[in-house]
Amino acid sequence: MDSLDRVLARHAVSRPDQLAYVCDGRRVTFGELHAASDTWARALHTYGLGVGARVAYLGKDSVDFVVLLYACAKAGVVLVPVNWRLAPAERTYLLNHSEAELLFIEAEFIDPEDRTPVADRPLPRVVLPSTPQEDDSAQPKDAVLLEHWLRNAPDMTGGTRAHRSGADTPVVQMYTSGTTGFPKGVVLAHRSFFAVREALDRSGLDWIDWRPDDVSLVCAPASHIGGLWWTVQGVNAGVTSLAMRVFGSREAVELMEGYGVTTMCLAPAMLTMLLREPERSDATFRRLRKVVYGGSPIPEVLLRRCMETMDCAFVQIYGLTETGNTAVCLPPADHLRDTALLQAAGRPYPGVGLKIVDDDGAELPAGEVGEVCVRSPAQMVEYWRAPDATDETVVDGWVRTGDAGYLDEDGYLYISDRFKDMIIRAGENIFPAEIEGALAAHPAVADCAVVGIPDERWGEAVLAFVVPGAGAAPSPRELRTFLRERIADYKVPTAFRVVEDLPRSAIGKVLRRTLRAPFWAGRSRHVN
């Protein structure tokens, strides 16, 4: 199996002048990316970072991030992307837990007076410019500007110090969202970025394919497994990848029209933003041939609207950081073959195992809801410094996802929801995603989210947050009538709240825990 550094080295020889990555006005070719990451890799060794050391990056998507990623791969160092949206205390936890020995930090995240420690111990920092034009003359203590850091690295004419990466060599450490307890560091090896592609190639399947003239749009941030995985897939394929510092529908449209984007990977919420973007024109999707989407359930009405408007192939992917991103796929043909399949997550890639188990770990037959378990050649090495948590999640080689779902008779996976989001009302299990999907079909509902709140009689009640579309908000009575024709009566929300917008993560997932928290404040248990 290949490695990130070896693939880049081959592209630097075969296509040195081809654009590899574009972000915020900066452009880097494959030859330039290879040369720059060589220089950075030598600098990592010069500053005493050995194989297996952790190096953190705190910043938005940038050319510098991609250079650092490949420098780490060449040096045998593990890169720890830190979500810049985290609060200072959360960042500090990640830097301490990861045992990072060096932090690359963009200038905009440096405290002007350098009052806030980035970790509980001295942590050397390399300060990166936040934009190509920015003057970063200020130099906080325990920090060195990027240009000075590189200036002290020796000449690279001899190449980087010999390091041979294997399929199981760790290359990145991604932190989970930490919806329960502290975030865990998911250690991923080089194989996590090759296993799916190689399995598809061996089987002759075009579920996720690449063509020589492809131009790829990266919509999710690189601090999220979806954004990082898609970025690496583009480099692996030798095509041009476009990224944004932060996803914005207007900039996405500009990139799509300016570069002729042919393929992209994004979350359903981003698809909604693209469809509503007022600057979108007939030229926006002209060259688009394939859309890969995932990260959260997609309402069928949104998917159909996208398929009609974008007029290209659609691919749904399902997976977790722990599975190395995608493990299950609904390929283009299945989007056209059967209406019912539009609600499916898909079926496993070749070489990936999939089963549904009950609370005791026993496998369940088709049609019965239980916990989704995945066994994939791309799955994580471990949770960093957490053997007990690793053993709880990976059981006999199977990753227990925490997702509730079922398989149909043909082996297609249907995701009900996360178990932790499940509502139990009078003993009945209710999954918010099902209600949200039904609500989203109402023409006056622009967005929605469903949570469980305490109810003294039934244990939990169903509360729906509704973002209205243009015009007057629909009444609760109207919404209940609409839903009773689509879902069981006990699933219909007992209350509705009209809001202007919903809290979302960096990739567009609704943060149900944020909506739910005020109703459970002061209670020892968040189930009733």
CATH number at residue 483: 3.30.300.30
436 and 405, same structural domain?
A: no
pLDDT at residue 366, rounded to an integer:
98
Whether the pLDDT of residue 480 is over 70: the answer is yes
Distance CA 447, CA 296 (A): 14
Query: Where a domain ends, among 102, 133, 165?
Result: 165
Distance CA 275, CA 291 (A): 14
62-66, 109-113, 281-285, 439-443: least confident range: 109-113
Structurally, the chain folds into a number of domains equal to 3
Per DSSP bridges, beta strands 102-106 and 78-82 are unpaired
Q: Per-residue confidence at 417, pLDDT binned at 50, 70, 90?
A: confident
Tokens of 143: 């920090």
Task: Tell me what percent of the residues of the chain surpass a pLDDT of 90.
Answer: 75
Distance CA 110, CA 103 (A): 12
Provide the whole-model pTM. 0.87
Measured CA to CA in angstroms, residue 304 lies from 18, 281, 292 at distances of: 36, 19, 14
pLDDT at residue 156, rounded to an integer:
45
343 and 248, same structural domain?
A: yes
Distance CA 443, CA 471 (A): 11
Query: Which is more confidently placed, 507 or 41?
Result: 41
Number of H helices, E strands in the chain: 15, 27
240 and 99, same structural domain?
A: no
Whether the pLDDT of residue 92 is over 70: the answer is yes
Q: At what angle do helices 4-14 and 225-237 cross, to 10 degrees?
A: 40
- For residue 528, tell me if it sits in a domain: no
Whether the pLDDT of residue 118 is over 90: the answer is no
pLDDT at residue 528, rounded to an integer:
52
Query: Where a domain ends, among 384, 418, 452?
Result: 418
370 and 253, same structural domain?
A: yes
pLDDT at residue 151, rounded to an integer:
86
pLDDT at residue 506, rounded to an integer:
85
Q: Are 444 and 468 in contact, with CB atoms under 8 Å apart?
A: yes
* Segment 440-449 mean pLDDT: 94
Whether the pLDDT of residue 298 is over 70: the answer is yes
- For residue 3, tell me if it sits in a domain: no
Q: At what angle do helices 63-75 and 30-46 cross, to 10 degrees?
A: 60
Cβ-based burial of 185 (10 A; exposed 0-12, middle 13-18, buried ≥19)? buried
**Which helix (H) or strand (E) element contains residue 42?**
helix 30-46
Q: Per-residue confidence at 472, pLDDT binned at 50, 70, 90?
A: confident
pLDDT at residue 185, rounded to an integer:
97
Query: Where a domain ends, among 418, 447, 467?
Result: 418
Q: Per-residue confidence at 117, pLDDT binned at 50, 70, 90?
A: low
* Segment 77-84 mean pLDDT: 95
296 and 195, same structural domain?
A: yes
- For residue 203, tell me if it sits in a domain: yes
371 and 245, same structural domain?
A: yes
pLDDT at residue 180, rounded to an integer:
47
Cβ-based burial of 247 (10 A; exposed 0-12, middle 13-18, buried ≥19)? buried
105 and 243, same structural domain?
A: no
199 and 57, same structural domain?
A: no
Tokens of 38: 């060589």
Structural domain boundaries enclosing 156 = 30-165
Q: What's the CATH code of the domain at 113?
A: 3.40.50.980
Summarised one tens digit per residue, pLDDT across range 489-510 is 889 999 999 999 999 988 888 9
Q: At what angle do helices 63-75 and 225-237 cross, to 10 degrees?
A: 80
* Segment 87-112 mean pLDDT: 90
pLDDT at residue 179, rounded to an integer:
42
Distance CA 201, CA 197 (A): 6
**Which helix (H) or strand (E) element contains residue 205?**
none
pLDDT at residue 154, rounded to an integer:
56
366 and 300, same structural domain?
A: yes
- For residue 354, tell me if it sits in a domain: yes
* Segment 318-341 mean pLDDT: 94
Q: Per-residue confidence at 157, pLDDT binned at 50, 70, 90?
A: very low
Cβ-based burial of 259 (10 A; exposed 0-12, middle 13-18, buried ≥19)? middle
192 and 141, same structural domain?
A: no
Q: Which residues contact 157 (CB under 8 A, 6 or more apart)?
A: none
Summarised one tens digit per residue, pLDDT across range 217-235 is 999 999 999 999 999 999 9
Q: At what angle do helices 268-276 and 249-259 cross, to 10 degrees?
A: 80
- For residue 13, tell me if it sits in a domain: no
- For residue 20, tell me if it sits in a domain: no
* Segment 412-427 mean pLDDT: 87
- For residue 314, tell me if it sits in a domain: yes
Closest of 307, 317, 367 to residue 337, by C-alpha: 307
CA 370 to chain centre: 24
Q: Per-residue confidence at 511, pLDDT binned at 50, 70, 90?
A: very high
- For residue 309, tell me if it sits in a domain: yes
193 and 119, same structural domain?
A: no
3-state secondary structure of 29: strand
375 and 251, same structural domain?
A: yes
Closest of 448, 455, 460, 444 to residue 501, by C-alpha: 448
